[in-house]
Structures are given as C-alpha cells and as structure tokens.
A and B are shown apart, each in its own frame.
Chain A
Amino acid sequence: MQSNKYNDLLDRLENEELEQVELGAEVYQQLMAIYLYQNKLANAKLLWMRIPDKLKEDKELLHLNQLNLALQNNNFAEFFQKIRYDWSECVKPTMEDLLVKQREELFTLTGSAYVSIYQNNLLQMAQMTEDELKNAVAALDWTREQDGDEVIWLPKAKETPPTGRNDDQLLKLTEFVTFLEN
C-alpha cells in the first residue's frame, strides 16, 4: 500500500509535464522526490536529463539530483548526509518517508549481507549517532561483540512472513490442471 501513496499525484504531475511548455521548478521537485521514494532511479535520472538548463540551478533540484546519484551508486553514507536538508514544504513529507524507507532498507540489507560489521562502518553508512544506532539495532535483536577497542555487530537475518492467499492459489492451480487435461 505504501508505495501507492503517491501514485495519484504522480499521474497528475506526469500529465502536466506532457502538456505544458514552461513548468516551474516545483513540479520537477515533486516528480523527482516521488521517483526517488518509489525507487525508480532510472526515471529520476532521465527526469534530471530533461529538466531545462535554467532550472538546473535551483538548489533544491540540485540537491535532489545528488540524492539520486548517491542512491544509484548505493552510497548510503552520502545519501543519509545529503537528505539532511531543509526541504521546502512541497517535498518535505516525501523526503521524510524516503528517509524512513531507506533506513529500513539499509538494515535489511546489512542484516542479510553481513555476518559481522564494525560499528564504525555501520555508523558511517547510516549517519546515525551511537545512541540512535543502539536503539535501531536493539529492535532488530542483533548481537554485540567486542573486538579489541572496536564494537562489532552480528546481524540477524530477517525472516519474511509468509503471505497466505490459499483460496486464490487453489483456484489458479485448478485452472492450470483443467488446461493440461484438455
């Protein structure tokens, strides 16, 4: 449901872009923010390429583009650094949602990709303070270890809850068997 949140707005903005000549920076800002939130990075990149040159000096757009580049390169540290910015009202809610989403993603990813990770590196990636990190990690039930002076975290991989739609599945299977038998 979450990612559908901005679909209506997105449709409206995309239509606007196709029909009007001179658009304000605001339309592009919102479009860019939504693309980032929905993780449509290729779209965001293309959007940046088609923004008229004179609008490219707009500070907020520049900043949004830097976010996009950071996401494309999977550079978490830079992303979390750049997202701390005084966003204007029209993109603020989207940016807040994006931050929450990316945080979550980072922890899911490190959870599955690392057996152990130095706290320093994790702090660097997430751009959090030690206390913030401690809270986030505690919620995920990760184990803490000491390696000399450094703290190491041993992540615990998340298990995805099964999604049950048994009736639907049964129906589809029946359909398929009927097809095979005919």
Chain B
Amino acid sequence: MGSALENFVNQVRTMSASGSFRELADDLPESVSLLARNWSILDNVLETLDVQQHTLGVLYVLLAKLHSAATANPEPVQIIQLMRDFVHRNNVEQLRFAICAFYETCHLFTDYLVQKNLSILGIKIMARAVDQIRQIDSQLTPIHADLCLLSLKAKNFNLVLTYLDGDITDISTAAAECKTQQQQQSQHTVDANNDAKYFLLFYYYGGMIYTAVKDYDRALYFFEVCITTPAMAMSHIMLEAYKKFLMVSLIVEGNIAFIPKNTQVIGRFMKPMASHYHDLVNVYANSSSEELRILILKYSEAFTRDSNMGLAKQVATSLYKRNIKRLTKTFLTLSLSDVASRVQLSGAAEAERYILNMIKSGEIYASINQKDGMVLFKDDPEKYNSPDMFLNVQTNITQVLDLVKQINKMEEEIILNPMYVKKALGSQEDDLTSQHPKTYSGDPTD
C-alpha cells in the first residue's frame, strides 16, 4: 500500500516538474480510489506536496479526503483550513486541466459543511473558488449553486448577493469542460448529467435568497428562469420553483405572471402537481381576504410541508394592501371604518395602520384626517419634472444602453461563429428570404 502511495507522489512530482499537466490530469482520476482507501495517511501525502507547484496532486488528495469523510471522520476545522489554503494558494493554470474534479471537490465540500452545520465558514471559500475558476465575471459555474446553498443554510446573504446581482451571459458546465479535455472517465459522465441540476439549483436558490431579502421582482425573475428552462421532463427543482413562482407573482403582480409559451412542461406536469397553489391563485383573484385566509388555513399542512407557509402569509398581507390600493382608484375620500369593512380588516385602527404603512413605503398616496376619521386618496404627485426623477430616468437609460452593447457583442460572436455561418448559408440556398441572417440583427432600439 505504502509503495502505491509513493508511486502516486512520485508521479505527481515528476510530471508537475516536467510541465506535462494534461497527461497528469488524465492519469490522476484512476488514483482516487487508491487515495480514498488510504485515508488514514493522506496527511503525510499532503506534506510532501506543495499547493503552488503540485496543484493537481493536492486537488485529488482533497477529493479523496472528502470522499472518505464518512469513514475517516476528520476534524471539520482541518478540512476547512485545507480548503481555504487550497483556494488561496493554488495554481489556476494547472487547475484548468482538471476543472471537473475541482467542481466535484467543491460539491463534496459543500455537502460536508452543510452536514456539519458549519455553512457560514464555507461562504468565503466558495466565493473565492468562483472568482478563481470563472473566466469572465458574467460566467455561471456549477459552484455558484454551492455558494448559494451555503449562504441559504447560513442565512448570510451579503456576499452572495454581489454574485447574484450581475447578469449571466455565459455558462461553464462540467460536460463542456470534460469534452474539451477529452476525458471519458465514468465518474465525470455522472457529473455531466448534473449540469442541469446545478443550473436549476442556482436559479432556485437565487430566487429563495431574493425572496428572503424581499426583492420580489428579482426573485420572480430567478424563478422564471428556473421554470422556463427548456426541458422534456420535469425536474423537482422546477416544480418547487414553480410553486414559489406562483406565490411571488401574486405578491408582485396579483395574478400569475406572464410565462413564455415554449414551456409545455409547466402545463403538462407541473400544474396538476401544484393544484393547491392554483387554488390559491384563483381565490386571490376574488379579492376576498376572508376566503383567502380560510383557504390558507385549509392547506396549511401542505404549505408547511413545502416550507412555503411564510410566503403564504405574505400573500395574505399583500391582498389587504392590493384591496386598499383598489379603493384609491374608486374613491376620493372614505372613512377609516369604511376602509376596514371593505377590505375585511378588524377595525378603523387597523385600517389606519395599514394605510400609514403603505404611505410610508410609497405604495399609495393619501392623507389621514384624524379629526373626521377620514382618508383622502390622492393621485401620484410625481410630475416627472424633478431632478430626482431625472436621475432615475438617467440610470435606466444607462442600463438599457449597456444592455444594447451587450446584445451587440453577443450577436457579433454568433455571426462570427463558423457553425452559424455554415447553417445560415446552407439554408439561404434553400430559401433566400426567410432564413436570411439579417433577421437576427434587429436593432432592439427600433
């Protein structure tokens, strides 16, 4: 046994020294089981390797260590320290030869931390790992999902939000990475199947994180991406995302948000499995808070099972607010007790509290007259002539301009892609007008 490990160390050292990283990366996956079997003396192996010079070797030792974590039961602090050391001092050029193994190591590390209830300590490590491995800032990697999971488990979103706020324009998948590296090992094909899982998980977790920080618009977008991912079969991640999507869209828009037509999966599989949630949407449309309350009570078991009870309560509150908002469209003045009876609140005092909160958050424009117990509903005082509004418009314009630039850039990439040119030219011969490449270059500002 000892000599096999010695062979491993020697192989890593000589091949790293001669710079044949590709060959090393091809050979190493075979040693994982050997390393995992010898978990008790892996620390000795680590001592003979240097993170900078032998990144690949250390990576596989780490992988083996995590694989054997269940039997070896190592000190969590030690594993965390090793990982932290690794992500801070490794050699990225070498790492690129074994991206799949790196992804797998990160996934195992995340599972391990979640299991040990130490998620908060992994957030910075995963963030650093993401920074290292992605080629551009807007690239999505499978470890983004791990970062989100750790943040959710630790309930700490400060760091992860910076990663979520940016738009994604490129995706790095284990499948693509393996293909370029010509690796056909069985464990990697398993990993490749998980690409879709990590993509969906990223958007599902991301949506949950935005819901937690009450950025419902952005949450809705994340859930939408998750459920509109082209698919032949339904993933359970998509189903859960669909349930949350329905609830968040009630809070944001008051009905089911627009869903693009190319998603047959929703109609065929998800709708029947989310019937409770569709009932909720239907009752919500009746605008009766009383009915909604009864329904939520009736389904409370199902909602609690799905961990959606908190969201259900938010939906209930949002209906009160929506009803008050509707009153502002019909009435100019109304007594507080009338407001209470119309939106089914308990009394004038509660109505006043709701209205005050809504004025504070800028949802309605009104003033309360305590002397006569009346509310005066006003129009939006925004005349679109203030400097603040101008600034607002400006930032929006800048955003749109950036978006246009981005689209132009991506379009250029497509036009220059040999595959696309071949296809476009080929179909051009069949049909000169309809498949013309010009159709792709529509200017979005027109």
The residue on B at minimum CB distance from A121 is B370
Task: List, in ascending order, chain A residues with CB within 8 A of B124's CB.
Answer: 18-19
Q: Are B369 and A109 in contact, with the CB atoms below 8 A?
A: no
Give Cα A121–Cα B356 distance, bound, in whole angstroms: 13
Interface residues of B in 364-423 (CB under 8 A from A): 366-371, 376, 386-388, 390-391, 394, 397-398, 401
Q: Are A49 and B394 in contact, with the CB atoms below 8 A?
A: no
Task: List, in ascending order, chain A residues with CB within 8 A of B366's CB.
Answer: 113
Given contacts A42-B212, A109-B356, A169-B390, contact A114 B368 (CB under 8 A): yes
Task: List, in ascending order, chain A residues with CB within 8 A of B157's CB.
Answer: 43, 46
**Is the CB of A74 closer than 8 A to any CB of chain B?**
yes
Among B118, B120, B357, B371, the residue within 8 A (CB) of A50 is B120
Among B158, B359, B387, the residue within 8 A (CB) of A112 is B359
Interface residues of B in 93-130 (CB under 8 A from A): 118, 120-121, 123-124
CB B418 to nearest CB in A, in angstroms, measures 30
**Is the CB of B213 closer than 8 A to any CB of chain A?**
yes
CB A173 to nearest CB in B, in angstroms, measures 8
Task: List, in ascending order, chain A residues with CB within 8 A of B397's CB.
Answer: 172, 176
Interface residues of A in 80-118 (CB under 8 A from B): 109, 112-118
**Is the CB of B79 closer than 8 A to any CB of chain A?**
no
Task: List, in ascending order, chain B residues with CB within 8 A of A162's CB.
Answer: 386-387
Given contacts A18-B123, A50-B154, A109-B360, contact A116 B212 (CB under 8 A): no
Give Cα A169–Cα B398 distance, bound, in whole angstroms: 13
Interface residues of A in 118-146 (CB under 8 A from B): 118, 121
Among B158, B356, B394, the residue within 8 A (CB) of A169 is B394
Give Cα A163–Cα B376 distance, bound, in whole angstroms: 29
Give Cα A162–Cα B356 distance, bound, in whole angstroms: 26
**Is the CB of A1 closer than 8 A to any CB of chain B?**
no
Q: Are A17 and B156 in contact, with the CB atoms below 8 A?
A: yes
Among A114, A172, A180, the residue within 8 A (CB) of B369 is A114
The residue on A at minimum CB distance from B155 is A50
Q: Are A74 and B357 in contact, with the CB atoms below 8 A?
A: yes
Give Cα A14–Cα B359 distance, bound, in whole angstroms: 33
Task: List, in ascending order, chain B residues with CB within 8 A of A109's CB.
Answer: 356, 359-360
**Is the CB of A147 closer than 8 A to any CB of chain B?**
yes
CB A112 to nearest CB in B, in angstroms, measures 7
Among A74, A116, A179, the residue within 8 A (CB) of B353 is A74
CB B244 to nearest CB in A, in angstroms, measures 17
Q: Are A169 and B367 in contact, with the CB atoms below 8 A?
A: no
Task: List, in ascending order, chain A residues with CB within 8 A of B154's CB.
Answer: 50
Q: Are A116 and B359 in contact, with the CB atoms below 8 A?
A: no
Task: List, in ascending order, chain A residues with CB within 8 A of B214's CB.
Answer: 42
**Is the CB of B168 closer than 8 A to any CB of chain A?**
no
Give Cα A112–Cα B386 distance, bound, in whole angstroms: 18
Task: List, in ascending order, chain A residues with CB within 8 A of B376's CB.
Answer: 115
The residue on A at minimum CB distance from B368 is A114
Task: List, in ascending order, chain B residues with CB within 8 A of A59's CB.
Answer: none
Given contacts A109-B360, A113-B366, contact A14 B388 (CB under 8 A): no
Q: Are B371 and A147 in contact, with the CB atoms below 8 A?
A: yes
Give Cα A152–Cα B158 distance, bound, in whole angstroms: 45
Interface residues of B in 340-371 (CB under 8 A from A): 353, 355-357, 359-360, 366-371
Listed residue (B123, B155, B398) with the most chain A CB atoms within 10 angstroms of its CB: B155
Per the CB 8 Å criterion, the residue count for chain B at the interface is 38
Give Cα A152–Cα B370 distance, bound, in whole angstroms: 9
Per the CB 8 Å criterion, the residue count for chain A at the interface is 31
**Is the CB of B4 closer than 8 A to any CB of chain A?**
no
Report A158-174 CB contacts with B as 1/0, cut-off 8 Å. Answer: 00001111000100100
CB B395 to nearest CB in A, in angstroms, measures 9
Give Cα A74–Cα B367 distance, bound, in whole angstroms: 17
Q: Are A19 and B121 in contact, with the CB atoms below 8 A?
A: yes
Q: Are A49 and B387 in contact, with the CB atoms below 8 A?
A: no
Q: Are A116 and B370 in contact, with the CB atoms below 8 A?
A: yes
CB B80 to nearest CB in A, in angstroms, measures 9
Listed residue (A21, A113, A164, A176) with the most chain B CB atoms within 10 angstroms of its CB: A113
**Is the CB of B159 closer than 8 A to any CB of chain A?**
yes
Task: List, in ascending order, chain A residues with CB within 8 A of B120's CB.
Answer: 17-18, 50
Among B156, B158, B370, B391, the residue within 8 A (CB) of A114 is B370
Among A50, A116, A172, the residue within 8 A (CB) of B156 is A50
CB B5 to nearest CB in A, in angstroms, measures 32
Task: List, in ascending order, chain A residues with CB within 8 A of B121's CB.
Answer: 18-19, 21
Task: List, in ascending order, chain B residues with CB within 8 A of A176's CB.
Answer: 397, 401
Q: Are A169 and B213 in contact, with the CB atoms below 8 A?
A: no
Task: List, in ascending order, chain B residues with CB within 8 A of A169's CB.
Answer: 387, 390-391, 394
Give Cα A80–Cα B371 distance, bound, in whole angstroms: 25
Interface residues of B in 115-156 (CB under 8 A from A): 118, 120-121, 123-124, 154-156
Task: List, in ascending order, chain A residues with CB within 8 A of B353's CB.
Answer: 74
20 additional contacts, CB 8 Å, given A163-B387, A180-B445?
A: A17-B120, A18-B159, A19-B124, A42-B213, A43-B213, A46-B155, A46-B156, A46-B212, A109-B360, A113-B359, A113-B360, A113-B367, A114-B367, A115-B368, A115-B369, A115-B371, A116-B370, A117-B368, A169-B394, A172-B394
B interface residue numbers (CB < 8 A to A): 77, 118, 120-121, 123-124, 154-159, 212-214, 353, 355-357, 359-360, 366-371, 376, 386-388, 390-391, 394, 397-398, 401, 445
List the 7 closest A-B pairs by CB distance, nearest first.
A115-B369, A50-B155, A113-B359, A116-B371, A115-B367, A46-B155, A42-B213
Contact sample, A vs B, 20 pairs, CB 8 Å cutoff: A18-B120, A18-B124, A18-B156, A19-B124, A21-B77, A46-B155, A46-B212, A49-B155, A74-B357, A109-B360, A113-B366, A114-B369, A114-B370, A117-B368, A117-B370, A163-B387, A169-B387, A169-B391, A172-B394, A172-B398
